[in-house]
Amino acid sequence: MRDIISKKVQEMQPSGIRAFFDLVLGMKDVISLGVGEPDFVTPWQIREAGIYSLEKGFTSYTSNKGLYKLRLGIARYLKNRYGLKYCPDEEILITVGVSEAFDLILRSILEPHDKVIVPVPGYVSYGPLTGLAGGSPVYINTKESGFKITPRLLEKHIDIKTKALVLNYPNNPTGISYSRKELEAIKRVVLRHNLLCISDEIYEDLTYDFSHTPFPILSGAKNNTVYLNGFSKGYAMTGWRVGYACGPKDIIAAMTKIHQYTIMCVSITGQMAACEALESGRAPVEEMKREYKRRREFIVEGLNKLGLDCHKPSGAFYAFPSIKKTGLKALDFATRLLKEQNVALVPGTAFGPFDDYVRISYACNFENLKEALKRIGDFLAKRK
Amino acid sequence: MDQILEILEKEARRSPEEIAKMLKKKPQDVRKAIKKYENEGLIVKYKAVINKELIKNDGSEVRALIEVNITPQKDLGFDRIAERIYSFTEVTSCYLVSGTYDLLLIVEGKDLQTVSKFVSEKLSPLENVKGTVTHFLLKKYKEDGVILKHREENKRIAISY
């Protein structure tokens, strides 16, 4: 075999549960609680705007930063909703989902061996992308503090090479989020060490118990924060691939430099649809949110009743129950449940060293959720 | 709107126990609330939405929208004459509307003749009915918020991060 793949990529850890994913995808009639995207279709008025833009012949490139109209819409939205001010000309970049934005930031700021703090359990791409950009991820296990990063934990892991902290709230896979007070405490540490906070707030629309606080509105934090968001989760627009980054203009300018060579611009159809999402108001988002919240109550109660201890997630559409009592390890649990009951979920090990946990997505219709819970109950009963 | 109503409007068979879990309420409180809505007439009844076009054999049913111009009665306005009209079992819906006519009816019958006969023999002869325009329905696309065409499901990949 020729030796053509770079060391960097060779060293990227392939996901340990790839084989499990393949197993799920090869099976028929699976009830899936393993999906990381809404089960809703994009609201019709947004789809219609996308179709209309095609009919009118909007099929060109846009400016690298994205349609001005969309950046302006985002600036207005953040100002009206949170009092958060970003200049559409210099402080907002439209990206191919949050994923691209995340990659751009790391490539913009990291020197070799710079460290990035990544709390786990966390979304799968943060660590590998940090490595790809030449940095080293520093994973902090948050299990003992209710899956939340605390100032003490943070302080313990910061050293001279630490450049950034990744926050993701509401969190995938745990669904936990932070109150304003908790964020203030984290912010003080971030500022004391002059870190950049990369705040992935893609699930902000799905916060159930208290109002969401964006990291950059905390006083003094804005200059040390890149705020990441998009349309995928709240508006059920995952496949359109439209996200955005808001931050200090030097960072956004650096990100734009890379973006213009690698991506050029986000598809105009997606951008046009996103404009409509902002213009047509939040009624569909609020309706979906109410539905998710009702499912949350149902699934969390159901899981706890079955003896799978589960904290109540305050956002997103995930529950992260402990399977410790079953005596099974996460991958084993997931594989057996799949084979015996045709129910798919994601083993906790996908998100860090969490062999006692599984992620359950309640972004699936209520009938399936009910049936899946019943099957999990049957599965557990058989093991007793 | 109360979430109990929102849930039931979408799926009338959702049980009080399930609703209670979803809303973090006690089942007896949900049951009580539903009872109250039923008594107040907010929840009128529970019924299945049936796509009659798919019924084989005797499914051939004809529906018509009928515009009716009427002369209102002194002191009673439109209500009395409307009542006379909507009391016919053939009339499945009856609305008072603004615009060029007064009542909009939905009338059902087993075939064209039955509906025509109803219009010519029952409806038109009524003293206060000045005129009618009948529109037979040719195809139903959507009814009461439900799209009747069987649609291809959105196929999400079964597992993703």
In terms of Cβ atoms closer than 10 Å to its own Cβ (0-12, 13-18, 19+), residue A78 is buried
Same domain, A125 and A173: yes
pLDDT (mean) for B46-72: 83
Which residue range forms the structural domain that includes residue A213? 44-279
pLDDT at residue number B154: 66
Helical ranges in chain A per DSSP H: 7-11, 18-25, 44-55, 68-82, 97-109, 126-132, 151-157, 180-192, 249-262, 268-279, 283-305, 330-341, 366-383
pLDDT at residue number B59: 56
Domain boundary among A239, A263, A279: A279
Q: How far is B154 from chain A (nearest CA, A)?
A: 7
pLDDT (mean) for A140-150: 97
CA distance B25 to B66: 45
> Considering CB atoms only, which of B7, B14, B158 is closest to A344?
B158
Return the CATH architecture of domain B54-139: 2-Layer Sandwich (3.30)
Question: What contacts 24+ positions apart, CB below 8 Å, involve B38-41?
Answer: none
CA distance B137 to B106: 10
| A121 near B CB under 8 A | no
pLDDT (mean) for B66-95: 92
CB contact (8 A) between residue B23 and residue A36 = no
Q: How far is A171 from chain B (nearest CA, A)?
A: 12
| Pair of tokens at residue A165 | 């902290």
CB contact (8 A) between residue A37 and residue B156 = yes
pLDDT at residue number A302: 96
> Considering CB atoms only, which of B154, B158, B160 is closest to A30?
B158
Alpha carbon distances (Å) from A332 to A31, A277, A371 = 18, 41, 21
> Considering CB atoms only, which of A21, A41, A297 is closest to B24?
A297
Same domain, A24 and A119: no
Based on the structure, what is the number of domains in chain A? 2
Domain boundary among A221, A246, A279: A279
Same domain, A23 and A68: no
CATH code at position A20: 3.90.1150.10
Cis peptide before A43 (omega within 30 of 0): no
CA distance A319 to B13: 26
Which among A189, A194, A201 is positioned nearest to A101, based on CA atoms? A201
CB contact (8 A) between residue B21 and residue A370 = no
| A19 near B CB under 8 A | no
Per-residue model confidence as pLDDT tens digits over A91-121: 999 999 999 999 999 999 999 999 999 999 9
Is A238 inside a domain boundary?
A: yes
pLDDT (mean) for A333-337: 97
| B13 near A CB under 8 A | no
Same domain, A239 and A194: yes
CA distance A196 to A226: 7
CA distance A360 to A362: 6
Q: What's the mean per-residue pLDDT of chain A?
A: 95
| Torsion sign, CA atoms A104, A40, A357, A24 | negative
Task: Answer whether A221's CB lies under 8 Å from A187's CB.
Answer: yes
CB contact (8 A) between residue B18 and residue A370 = yes
Nearest CA in chain B to A305: B21
CA distance A126 to A163: 14
Same domain, A150 and A292: no
Q: How far is B7 from chain A (nearest CA, A)?
A: 9
CB contact (8 A) between residue A295 and residue B22 = yes
- Residue B11 — very low, low, confident or very high, per pLDDT cuts 50/70/90? very high
pLDDT at residue number A17: 80
CATH code at position A255: 3.40.640.10
Q: Could you give phi then psi for residue B66, rounded to 5 degrees? A: -125, 125
Q: How far is A25 from chain B (nearest CA, A)?
A: 6
Looking at chain A, the whole-number percentage of residues with pLDDT higher than 70 is 99
Same domain, A125 and A249: yes
- Residue B57 — very low, low, confident or very high, per pLDDT cuts 50/70/90? low
Per-residue model confidence as pLDDT tens digits over B119-157: 999 999 998 999 999 999 998 888 888 888 777 766 788
| A335 near B CB under 8 A | no
Q: Is the pLDDT of residue A57 over 60?
A: yes
For chain B, residues classed under CATH 3.30.70.920 are: 54-139
> Considering CB atoms only, which of A27, A37, A125 is closest to B160?
A37
Nearest CA in chain A to B2: A290
Same domain, A54 and A152: yes
Same domain, A75 and A143: yes
CB contact (8 A) between residue B22 and residue A37 = no
CB contact (8 A) between residue A35 and residue B24 = no
CA distance A183 to A188: 9
CB contact (8 A) between residue A302 and residue B21 = yes
Is A1 inside a domain boundary?
A: no
Q: What's the mean per-residue pLDDT of chain B?
A: 90
Ranges A61-65, A345-349, B56-60: which has the least confidence: B56-60
Q: Is the pLDDT of residue B161 over 70?
A: yes
Q: Among A24, A298, A305, which would you mutate to test the B interface (most chain B Cβ atoms within 10 Å of its Cβ)?
A: A298
The alpha carbon of residue A228 and the mean position of all alpha carbons in its chain are separated, in whole angstroms, by 10
- Residue A202 — very low, low, confident or very high, per pLDDT cuts 50/70/90? very high
Q: Which residues of A touch B23 (CB under 8 A)?
A: 294, 297
Same domain, A89 and A128: yes
Same domain, A107 and A22: no
Same domain, A250 and A143: yes
Q: How far is A202 from chain B (nearest CA, A)?
A: 14
Alpha carbon distances (Å) from A308 to A34, A315, A322 = 17, 19, 6
Task: Answer whether A254's CB lies under 8 Å from A287's CB.
Answer: no
> Considering CB atoms only, which of A37, A172, A294 is closest to B23?
A294
pLDDT at residue number A347: 96
Same domain, A155 and A293: no
CB contact (8 A) between residue A290 and residue B22 = no
Domain boundary among A279, A294, A320: A279
pLDDT at residue number B152: 72
Task: Answer whether A329's CB lies under 8 Å from A350's CB.
Answer: no
| B100 near A CB under 8 A | no
Q: Which residues of A touch B18 (CB under 8 A)?
A: 298, 366, 370
Q: Is the pLDDT of residue A50 over 90?
A: yes
> Considering CB atoms only, which of A24, A27, A36 is closest to B161?
A36
- Residue A2 — very low, low, confident or very high, per pLDDT cuts 50/70/90? confident
Q: Which residues of B touch A344 (CB under 8 A)?
A: 158-159
CB contact (8 A) between residue A32 and residue B158 = yes
Which among A203, A183, A170, A175 is positioned nearest to A288, based on CA atoms? A203
Q: At A199, which helix (H) or strand (E)?
A: strand A196-200
| Pair of tokens at residue A157 | 């892991």
| A36 near B CB under 8 A | yes
